[in-house]
């Protein structure tokens, strides 16, 4: 693996040429109320799967090429995209003629979506490894199928290019679960309802990766992005961090699913652009 000061061998594509690899294979055991019959990326917020919201975040920056790493209940995601245009636009059916007329086809997203079966039991690093045969560029975006954010992907890509590392992770500060109070002499002097954590950055996904990173690891189902690949890069000073002080929220629990739905219903979902998508 090349060091951080070596000349780069892979040119960073323009945003519209970039591909986004999205991990969609986990079982979502902490959200069992919803994931008994569908994978977590298909759990809806605001009437749309969270996966759709994540893809819209990328497409709002011009990214239209997606590679979805399927696993648990991948058939649900396959069916969703096979019937996507009929879910999102009006159409007329003439059964006798076996004819379908689609109205307003321009309302359907101009996406290219590759759906890859990466196995029910594979770990995150293995899933990306197995999907790379469908990734055309040496540099690509990667993220999880359960977190939304108002990350500026253009700045993220520029940061990756200038830092001259083999991968860049978006570092975020999650929202605190409980309200924060400041105390003085037995009195509350300050109260903030569920602020962002002041200290402690975590991996928020929304990564930029280079193909060579995954080629340097043996292809095993146990290969983990978080436990194997990223720590190895960090040890070699080959992992950059893009600090994101804005909104970020994952959907690990039922409580977080309710929170994200409430944001959508209020019309103040921070990850949605000014056009409301």
Tell me the pLDDT tens digit for each residue of 5-30: 444 445 677 888 899 999 998 877 77
Residue whose structure tokens are 């006798």: 96
Burial classification of residue 117, based on how many CB atoms lie within 10 Å of its CB (0-12 exposed, 13-18 middle, 19 or more buried) = middle
Confidence band of 193 (pLDDT split at 50, 70, 90): low
Residue 46 in domain: yes
> What local confidence, expressed as pLDDT, does residue 1 receive?
38
Residue 96 in domain: yes
Q: Whole-angstrom Cα distance, residue 26 to residue 41?
A: 9
Output the average pLDDT for the chain.
86
Range of the structural domain that residue 96 is part of: 15-266
> What local confidence, expressed as pLDDT, does residue 40 receive?
93
Residue 2 in domain: no
> What local confidence, expressed as pLDDT, does residue 229 receive?
93
Interstrand relation of 99-102 and 91-94 (parallel, antiparallel or unpaired): antiparallel
CATH code for position 97: 3.90.550.10
* Total tally of structural domains belonging to the chain: 1
Q: Whole-angstrom Cα distance, residue 234 to residue 213?
A: 12
Q: Whole-angstrom Cα distance, residue 95 to residue 97?
A: 5
Residue 193 in domain: yes
Q: What is the pTM (predicted TM-score) of this model?
A: 0.86
Residue 276 in domain: no
| Interval 116-134: pLDDT, tens | 999 998 999 999 999 999 9
| Interval 240-264: pLDDT, tens | 999 999 999 999 999 999 999 999 9
pLDDT higher than threshold 90 for residue 33: no
Residue 274 in domain: no
Mean pLDDT in residue range 59-87 = 93
- Give which of 130, 111, 19 is closest to 71, Cα–Cα: 130
Residue 44 in domain: yes
Residue 85 in domain: yes
> What local confidence, expressed as pLDDT, does residue 274 receive?
62
Phi and psi of 179, rounded to 5°?
Answer: -65, 155
């Amino acid at each position: 693996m090349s060091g951080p000061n070596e000349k780069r061998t892979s040119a960073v594509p323009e945003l519209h040429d970039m591909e986004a690899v999205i991990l969609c294979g986990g079982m979502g055991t902490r959200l069992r109320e919803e994931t008994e019959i569908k994978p977590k990326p298909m759990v809806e917020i605001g009437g749309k799967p969270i996966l759709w919201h994540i893809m819209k975040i990328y497409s709002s920056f011009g990214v239209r090429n997606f590679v979805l790493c399927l696993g648990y209940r991948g058939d649900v995601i396959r069916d969703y995209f096979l019937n996507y245009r009929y879910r999102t636009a009006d159409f007329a059916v003439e059964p006798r003629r076996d004819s379908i007329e689609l109205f307003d086809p321009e309302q359907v997203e101009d996406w290219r979506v590759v759906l890859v079966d990466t196995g029910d039991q594979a770990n995150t690093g293995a899933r990306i490894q197995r999907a790379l045969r469908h990734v055309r560029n040496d540099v690509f975006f990667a993220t999880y199928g359960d977190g939304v954010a108002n990350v500026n992907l253009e700045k993220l890509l520029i940061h990756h290019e200038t830092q001259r590392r083999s991968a860049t992770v978006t570092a975020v500060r999650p929202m605190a679960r409980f309200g924060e109070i400041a105390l003085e002499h037995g009195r509350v002097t300050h109260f903030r309802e569920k602020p962002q954590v002041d200290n402690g950055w975590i991996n928020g996904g929304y990564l930029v990766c280079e193909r060579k990173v995954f080629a340097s690891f043996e292809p095993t189902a146990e290969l983990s992005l978080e436990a194997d690949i990223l720590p190895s890069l960090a040890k070699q000073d080959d992992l950059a961090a893009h600090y994101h002080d804005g909104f970020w929220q994952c959907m690990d629990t039922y409580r977080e699913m309710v929170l994200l739905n409430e944001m959508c219903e209020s019309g103040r979902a921070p990850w949605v652009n000014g056009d409301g998508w």
